Amino acid sequence: MNKKGLELTFAWLFAIIVGAVIIVLAIYATTSLIKTERKVQETEIGKQFGILLSPIETNLEAAKIARITFPDETRLINNCRLVGTFGAQDIGIATRSRIGEEWTEAGVPSTFYNKYMFSSETTQGREFSVFSKPFNMPFKVADLIFVWSEEYCFINPSTEILEELEALNPKNINITTSVAECSKQSKKVCFTSSGCDIDVSVSSKSVKKGKQVVYYEDSLIYGAIFADPDIYECQVKRLLKRSSELSLLYIAKSESLAPRGCSSNLESDLTTYAFETNNVTSSIEFREFYNLAKTMKEKNELLSCKLF
C-alpha cells in the first residue's frame, strides 16, 4: 500500500498561491477596464448627443423636429443646475449592457451653458423625439429643446398647438378629442378638461402634473408638458437669467445708438426687466412682468432703429 500520498512541495504551494493572485488581479483589472471603457463611451455619447442638438435649434423657423436613434436601449439623464450667471445644462447617458449589470451609473455628464433641454429627469428608450422652438419674451431668449421617448396623447389641444403639431407630425404624439381614443400606455394631456396625467389650463397659462402646478408663457407650454416640474422650474430660472443679461446688452446697445441720433425710450423698462428676471424664484412670477414685456415689444415695434 502506498502511504506516501500527494507530496505538496514548497515550489508547488508557491506556484499555486502566486498563480491564484495573478488570476484574481487579471480578473479585477479586466472588470475595471470594462467598466471604465463603458463610462468613457457613455460620456462620449452624452457629448455627441448635446452636439447633435445644435443643428436642431431654429434660425427663422417657428419650430423644428427630429428623431435621434441609439443602437440599443439608452437612458438620457437631464440635470439642470443654477450655477454662475446662466446656470448649466448637464446631459448624461447610460447604455444598457448585455454583460454583467444591465444598467450602471451614467457616464460623466456633459455640461452646456447655452442649451435648455426640457424632458423627464430620466428618459429611457431607443428613439428620442426632439422638438425645438424659440422662446420670445419680448425678444428671442433661446431655443427650447423638448425631448421625449414615450407616447403622448393630446386631448382637444388649442388651435395653435393643433395646427403646429399637424404640420410637424411628430411620431409619438396623438391628437384626439376624448380620453377614450388614447392608447393605454400613452401619457394623457387634457387641454379643456381635467383628470388626465397632465392638465393644461390655457386660461391661467398653467400645467398641472400630479400635485405640482407650473406656469408658462409662449413656447414654454411644451416644456411644462414634457419636463418634470423641478427641471421645468430650473430651466425657467436659467432662461430668465439669460433674459436679464440680454436686457443689459440691449441697454448698452440703446446707449451706444443714442448719441448717433437713434435713441429709444426703452432703457428704464429694460433696467426694470433685467432686475425682475434676474430675481425670479418661480414660474408663477411670469405674470408679474408679462405686461412689461408686452409693452417693451410694442415700444420697440415703433422705433425707427429697432433694438431687438
Partner 1 sequence: MNFYLANYSKGQMKIQQMAFVLVALMIFFALVSLFYFSIRVSNLEKGVVELREDEAKELVRKLAASPEFAWTATDCASCIDLDKVILLKNRKAYSGFWNLDYLAVERVYPSKQGECSKGSYPNCNSITIINKTGAFGTPAWSYVALCRHEFSKSNYVRCELGRIFAAGKGIQ
The residues that touch partner 1, with contacts defined as CB under 8 A, are: 9-11, 14-15, 18, 22, 29, 40, 44, 47-48, 50-51, 54-55, 57-60, 84-86, 111-114, 139-143, 245-246, 248-249, 252-253, 256-257, 260-262, 304-306, 308
Looking at beta carbons only, is 159 or 301 nearer to partner 1?
A: 301
Classify 31 in phi/psi space as left (phi over 0), alpha (psi -120 to 50) or beta.
alpha
Task: Provide the β-strand partners of residue 175.
Answer: 154
Distance CA 139, CA 250 (A): 10
CB of 107 to partner 1, least distance (A): 13
CB of 172 to partner 1, least distance (A): 26
Distance CA 112, CA 211 (A): 30
Question: Which three cell numbers, joined as nine digits, stand for 220?
Answer: 414654454
Looking at beta carbons only, is 130 or 189 nearer to partner 1?
A: 130
CB of 182 to partner 1, least distance (A): 36
Distance CA 214, CA 223 (A): 10
CB of 266 to partner 1, least distance (A): 14
CB of 261 to partner 1, least distance (A): 6
Distance CA 254, CA 284 (A): 30
Looking at beta carbons only, is 54 or 204 nearer to partner 1?
A: 54
Q: In terms of DSSP bridges, do strands 212-215 and 152-155 run parallel, antiparallel, or are they unpaired?
A: unpaired
CB of 139 to partner 1, least distance (A): 6
Residue 149: Cβ-neighbour burial (10 angstroms; 0-12, 13-18, 19+): buried
Looking at beta carbons only, is 22 or 168 nearer to partner 1?
A: 22
For the range 165-172, what are the long-range contacts, defined as Cβ-Cβ under 8 Å and sequence gap of 24 or more?
A: 168/63, 168/65, 168/131, 170/65, 170/129, 170/131, 171/67, 171/127, 171/129, 172/129, 172/148
CB of 304 to partner 1, least distance (A): 6
Looking at beta carbons only, is 112 or 290 nearer to partner 1?
A: 112
In the block, cell 398641472 appears at 208
Looking at beta carbons only, is 287 or 306 nearer to partner 1?
A: 306
Least Cα distance to 139 among 4, 7, 253 occurs for: 253
Looking at beta carbons only, is 64 or 209 nearer to partner 1?
A: 64
